[in-house]
Amino acid sequence: MIVRPHPNLLNVLLALKGSIARRIAVRSLAVTLLAAFIVLIENLHPEYFSKVSAVPFTLLGLSLSIFMSFRNNACYDRWYEARKAWGDVITEIRSIIRETQVIKDVSVRRPVLRDLCGFAHALSATLRREDARKVAQPWLSRMPSEEGANFCDRVLREVGLQCSNASNSGQINEWRYTLLANHLSVISRAVTACERIKGTPLPFPYTLLLHRTIYLFCILLPFVIAEPLGWVTPLFMAIVSYTFFGLDAIGNELEDPFGFDENDLPLDALVRVIERDILDALGETPLPPLLEPVDFVLT
């Protein structure tokens, strides 16, 4: 995720980190060169362009802008919903930390909290298609067997069993056990929301139609504006292609908010927050430092 101060005029013009420009530079350059070539042809053979009307492209450009707005809003909703789900995970784990303060036996409380930290590491790894067992193992009191479809859910079940055992042994009362079970249920719903976002991309024909329309629009538009704009056409097309290709690329990044793109969620930083809260609750020092942005990118 890009973390940088509000840009001034100089940063607006020169900033590359956090900009989508590098990802679309080749495509924008190709459209610009094509526009220059079309202007050259128009200067040599103006009769070819005398009957080209701009009306269809005006309607197409308006429709395309609305279409892209709908898609980017849908992609941003996925990104923001994923962030809210991780916010719920952090909130509920902090609530469990508070609720388990009444457990006097450290040997009972410690596995519960460390298993929750292992769960957070496992969830981040799962969403990024990494080895969840490997990253969670240093934190877990007991590694679940390799059998089973959902490793994160099995870790949560182990935490729930530990809370049940604490209730049966008198470490916590029935009312507090009910609160802990409710917190685990909210975490489980947040996990399900993340899995739904990860496993359900936007419909492919919807995205494909937008990609094709953008390319057709950027390739055909120079034929319309070459005559009235002349050699200003390549500059105009560079701006138009930057806008359309850029919005398309941003939507692609936000559609899957759990990856390693610059605009994806900073899962490592979110897991580190949970890790610090749990280690602090267990009285361990020194705490690992909060992750800071590196070259304006927070991972």
Per-residue pLDDT of the chain (299 residues; tens, 9 = 90+): 666 555 555 555 555 555 677 788 889 999 999 999 988 988 888 777 667 666 777 777 787 888 888 888 999 999 999 999 999 999 999 999 999 999 888 888 999 999 999 999 999 999 999 999 999 999 988 887 766 678 899 999 999 999 999 988 888 889 998 999 999 999 999 999 999 999 988 888 888 888 888 888 888 888 888 888 888 989 999 988 888 898 888 888 888 899 888 888 899 999 999 999 999 999 888 988 887 877 656 67
d(CA 208, CA 143): 43
d(CA 224, CA 57): 8
The residue behind tokens 């504006």 is: 225
Strand partners of residue 2: 297
pLDDT (0 to 100) of residue 111: 92
d(CA 3, CA 122): 25
Residues 6 or more apart from 239 whose CB is under 8 A from it? none
pLDDT (0 to 100) of residue 68: 83
Confirm if 186 and 92 have CB atoms less than 8 A apart: yes
Count of alpha carbons within 13 Å of 22, Cβ hemisphere only? Answer: 8
d(CA 45, CA 39): 10
Angle made by CA atoms 196, 200, 205, in degrees to the nearest 5:
160
Q: How far is CA 261 from CA 18, 207, 298, in A?
A: 10, 19, 10
